[in-house]
Structure 1
Amino acid sequence: MARWKPDARGRLTVAALELFTEQGYDETTVAQIAERAGLTRSTFFRHFSDKREILTAGQELLSRLLAEGVAAAPADATPLDAVAAGLDRACGAMTDFNRELGPRLHAAIEANEELRARNAMKSVGMAAAIADALRRRGVSELSAQVSAELGVLAFGIGYRRWSDVSRADDPGELITHTRAAFAELRSATSALG
């Protein structure tokens, strides 16, 4: 097997999502994923601890980028404006590769209870990173938590909208969709009374 080919992690991710779509998550093995990617099982385990991790592998990076964006917001930014800065920073790291994987990723998660639970934990981790960054800015616990949850919800909505259409049909960037989702959520919360 050709271990020297570039982007093993990306190839493993694509192979896994293809197999999850074709035969289901539970029926897919690590050996099948590695074979489809043209790699060895040991190469798989250098990149992922198990097949579940493929679906949540970017959580640490996203959480870090969200927190860095919140921290870098102007000192006079409101909590929601600081979250918007975090969203902008995280969106900037997403590429066309992430966009292309979106529909397969969503399908795999929706088809499996364990993956839905793992994805929910990913959201909890991202919200915790945002809330921690807000608290370091002096935001109260409750305001930090609510702002963080809205930010994660906006990111999820924006990512889904962005990845569910092809670049040909919508050449827009993730940041555009996420900003629109965040504006909609802010408007919805203010309308609650």
Structure 2
Amino acid sequence: MARWEPGARERLVLAAIDLFTEQGYDATTVAQIAERAGVTKSTFFRHFPDKRELLVAGQDALSRLLSDGIADAPPGVGPLEAVAAGLERASSSMGPTNHETGPRIRAAVAASTELQERDALKSVGLAAAMTSALLARGTPDPAAHLAAELGVLAFKRGYAAWLEAADGGDGTPARYTLAALDDLRAATRLLG
């Protein structure tokens, strides 16, 4: 195994996705993931505390992109416009690798209760990051929480639509997440 070969983190994630797809999450061991990635188990544990963290490896970066986009939205825009700026920034950072691995990650999550629980925690973390960014902009508490939750739902729906798009995703999921946010905004009007 190449001890100091660059890109170990990315190789670990891709190896895990492949193994989870091939043999299931529960049947896959850390040793198998490390071997497939061409690294040692100790290298695995330098990057991840356990195997379930592999599928949420980009959560911190995603939260940061959402928060930064909200923070950088023009002054005076409403909470949902600020969320749209966050969605656009985060979604624009995704590309072909995300589009390629997305369906396999979704399949692995769907097949594992443990990963479904971790995915739910990821959503909570994304909502918390957006809520904090909105509160920092001066958005009142209930509106900040509601806008953030709509942002998480729009991100999930837009990302899913991007993965399923007939045009192969056409670049990034940005237009899909923004369209999903517009759909949700329209749906809130039906609530009364």
| Distance in 2 separating the partners of 1:95 and 1:50 | 26
Match of 1:71 in 2: 71
State the shift of 1:122 in Å: 0.5
Match of 1:106 in 2: 106
Match of 1:27 in 2: 27
Residue 9 in structure 1 maps to residue 9 in structure 2:
yes
| Distance in 2 separating the partners of 1:169 and 1:101 | 13
Deviations 1:152-188 (A, max 9, x none): 111111112212357x634242101111111111111
Match of 1:176 in 2: 175
Query: Is there any run of 5+ residues in structure 1 with no aligned partner, and where?
Result: none
| Distance in 2 separating the partners of 1:169 and 1:53 | 27
Deviations 1:99-131 (A, max 9, x none): 111001101111111111110010001101101
| Distance in 2 separating the partners of 1:65 and 1:110 | 26
Structure 2 counterpart SS, 1:22: helix
Asked if 2 retains the 8 angstrom alpha-carbon contact of 1:102 and 1:164, the reply is no
| Distance in 2 separating the partners of 1:14 and 1:105 | 10
Structure 2 counterpart SS, 1:80: helix
| TM-score normalised by length of structure 2 | 0.94
Asked if 1 retains the 8 angstrom alpha-carbon contact of 2:95 and 2:171, the reply is no
- State the identity %: 58
Structure 2 counterpart SS, 1:77: coil
Which amino acid letter does the alignment assign opposite residue 137 of structure 1? R
| Distance in 1 separating the partners of 2:169 and 2:121 | 30
Match of 2:141 in 1: 141
| Distance in 2 separating the partners of 1:116 and 1:158 | 19
Which amino acid letter does the alignment assign opposite residue 2 of structure 1? A
Across the aligned residues of Structure 1 and Structure 2, the Cα RMSD in angstroms comes to 1.4
Match of 2:151 in 1: 151
Bigger shift: residues 91-100 or 138-147: 91-100
Structure 2 counterpart SS, 1:5: coil
Residue 46 in structure 1 maps to residue 19 in structure 2:
no
Asked if 2 retains the 8 angstrom alpha-carbon contact of 1:20 and 1:28, the reply is yes
| Distance in 2 separating the partners of 1:183 and 1:25 | 35
State the shift of 1:98 in Å: 1.4
